[in-house]
Amino acid sequence: MGCDIHMWVERIGDDGKWHLVPEAKVYGRRDYGVFAWLAGVREDAPKPIAEPRGYPIPISEELLDHFARCRAPDWEEYADASSLDFYHDRDSHTPHWYLASELDAAVKRGLPDLLPGRSWDYPGGILDLIPYWCSLADSSDRVRIVFNFDN
């Protein structure tokens, strides 16, 4: 059994709150080099950009509702986003997030070496998505990528 990434894109709306961008393209390929770079998952190299932060707070209501519906039939009782540990099911792990600007800056600093036989450059890969995510708002600080993994 392998490890997969589950990813969502949020941006700040005119109301100043984070909102899910359901039509946004996300990364879904099983690439353990990318998983290591994003969150230190599955491989020792490369080192992650930043240690996993958990889910962002505040999180969009849409994503909070999604997590709650996936986790519990009585999800409406759990409206407090400060206890997001509740939303982990037994298969998900390593919740994390980045602003699009953080990922863009990490690429500009230079990509780390991957394990032999691995490449950063393939169509639809993470390097294609980062500029796209940055373009989803007037500032790449207003877009974030939220993700976790499963086994």
What percent of the chain stands above pLDDT 90? 50
Residue-range definition of the domain harbouring residue 116 = 4-150
pLDDT in tens, 105-131: 999 998 887 766 677 777 778 888 999
What is the C-alpha to C-alpha distance for residues 33 and 48, in angstroms, rounded to an integer? 10
Buried b (16+ CB within 10 A) or exposed e, 41-74: bbbeebebbeebeebbeebbeebbebbbeeeeee
Q: How confident is the model at residue 31 (pLDDT cuts 50, 70, 90)?
A: confident
What is the pLDDT, as a whole number, of residue 78? 45
| The pLDDT of residue 9 is above 90 | yes
What is the C-alpha to C-alpha distance for residues 61 and 26, in angstroms, rounded to an integer? 19
| The pLDDT of residue 48 is above 60 | yes
Enter the pTM of the model: 0.85
Give the amino acid at 4.
Answer: D
Q: Count of domains in the chain?
A: 1
What percent of the chain stands above pLDDT 70? 83
Sort residue 125 into left (φ over 0), alpha (ψ -120 to 50) or beta: beta
Mean pLDDT along residues 39-45? 82
Report for 11-15, 27-31, 109-113: range of highest mean pLDDT: 11-15
What is the C-alpha to C-alpha distance for residues 145 and 136, in angstroms, rounded to an integer? 11
| The pLDDT of residue 58 is above 60 | yes
- Which two three-digit tokens encode residue 64? 């909070």
The DSSP annotation for 86-120 comes to: GG--TTEEEEEEEEHHHHHHHHHH-PPPPPTT--S
